[in-house]
Structure 1
């Protein structure tokens, strides 16, 4: 997929691996100057070095001071901020329990990264974009924010929050020329899911067929397929789309898949 992002400046959080890395590389391949950010500074530095005009910055989205520094440095170095992709996020595999047993500290950790961090980055970016009179914010949510999954109360709550926050931001910021949209990925083949579901010692190796049975396309998605969705929302051609959640899940949430 090719679009023209020449002279556009983009910032991607959680860009060290998986979906974030694929999005950052896709934006760069289409002409954008991309600032790749992550808590894993070494890895984003290596990725950024492979793309002309791209920069790497260490960023913990739960640190407001660091967010302000990275946004300011981006504008100072590259002159503007056109696209922000809020991808940084965490989940937990150690606490797949019902809400009455879910640890409060894990609830706080997930909400702080997945929702509060996204809010803080969006707030800082929106201030810059409002001054420019233009910009695009793309939030990575999840199908878990649309259709709750059991034993994941914190992740579900955070991603549901992301979905409605995305729509609220679109309503508020449209008058300033800022478009805000989200992407809700389904089961995506990242390093983590490959190990958990397909690795020899994966915790959910025995559940793969059950998972795939709920996906009409009968396979997990790729990080590149999420990157294509982000590229579409970042492209000039999506200029009349805001407040939309683009679901990329192989049909998982379309309805109840069953064999009778």
Structure 2
């Protein structure tokens, strides 16, 4: 789709990763200035260098002081912040085990980034957005597992389900202030991580891939660019009356069972 985001500043976390790159490329192509935010500072710089108007910032969303510095750098560079895309997140590869065996430290790591970090980031980024009085957008990246749980990844499922209801809470609270909040629930997306797990010849779950694809009506994984299109849609002026919604971009995964 095409939309005019000229003059808008979009702050995207986890922007050096696969889905993050898909998001920033679509927003930038439609005129937005991009803050490429990532814990991987060099990766953020590399992505920013590919965009027409971008600022790279290092941010650890678990650390409120790191967030403060990143938001301050955004305001210093652009004088505003209009769109926040909470994309940063992690899952576990090594610990795909039942909940009774799941390591406590790994639970804290995943929930601390995926849910706590999203809350910390949003709380701080809203300050310049609300102070300007121009309204704004918050787009949270959840997951289909927040809508339909999967086995062996209990903290990821819990965090993504938490994001979904947190998004709805944000919509209720921020809507009267002119800021709309929505979430995207990606299904299986072809990033380097999913290639390593599912689609590579030596992938940990490569043997299960064919059966997994049978649960997706379109029969394929999505692409980061398709998530970017969904973020663009929810960031566009034309979608200003959409608030508190969860958009599944999953090839039909959550529509029902394939028999």
Using the size of structure 1 for normalisation, the TM-score is 0.98
Report what 1:35 is aligned to. 35
**Displacement of 1:52:** 2.0
Gaps of 5+ in 2: none
Q: Compute the RMSD of aligned alpha carbons.
A: 0.8
Distance in 1 (alpha carbons) for counterparts of 2:126 and 2:50: 29
1:86 maps to 2:117: no
Distance in 2 (alpha carbons) for counterparts of 1:75 and 1:98: 44
Distance in 1 (alpha carbons) for counterparts of 2:193 and 2:70: 27
Deviation larger for 68-77 or 151-160: 68-77
Question: What pairs up with 1:103-182 in 2 under 5 angstroms?
Answer: 103-133=103-133, 134-182=135-183
**Cα shift readout 1:134-154 (whole Å, capped 9, x = no counterpart):** 110000000000011011110
Distance in 1 (alpha carbons) for counterparts of 2:35 and 2:130: 20
Deviation larger for 210-219 or 43-52: 43-52
**Cα shift readout 1:205-236 (whole Å, capped 9, x = no counterpart):** 11111110000111111111110000000000
Question: What pairs up with 1:1-260 in 2 under 5 angstroms?
Answer: 1-133=1-133, 134-258=135-259
Aligned length: 258
**Displacement of 1:181:** 0.4
Gaps of 5+ in 1: none
Distance in 2 (alpha carbons) for counterparts of 1:233 and 1:46: 26
**Displacement of 1:46:** 1.1
Distance in 1 (alpha carbons) for counterparts of 2:157 and 2:92: 11
**Displacement of 1:199:** 1.1
Distance in 2 (alpha carbons) for counterparts of 1:76 and 1:178: 22
- SS of corresponding position for 2:243: coil
Distance in 1 (alpha carbons) for counterparts of 2:226 and 2:59: 25
Distance in 1 (alpha carbons) for counterparts of 2:230 and 2:256: 21
Distance in 2 (alpha carbons) for counterparts of 1:234 and 1:196: 31
Distance in 1 (alpha carbons) for counterparts of 2:190 and 2:114: 20
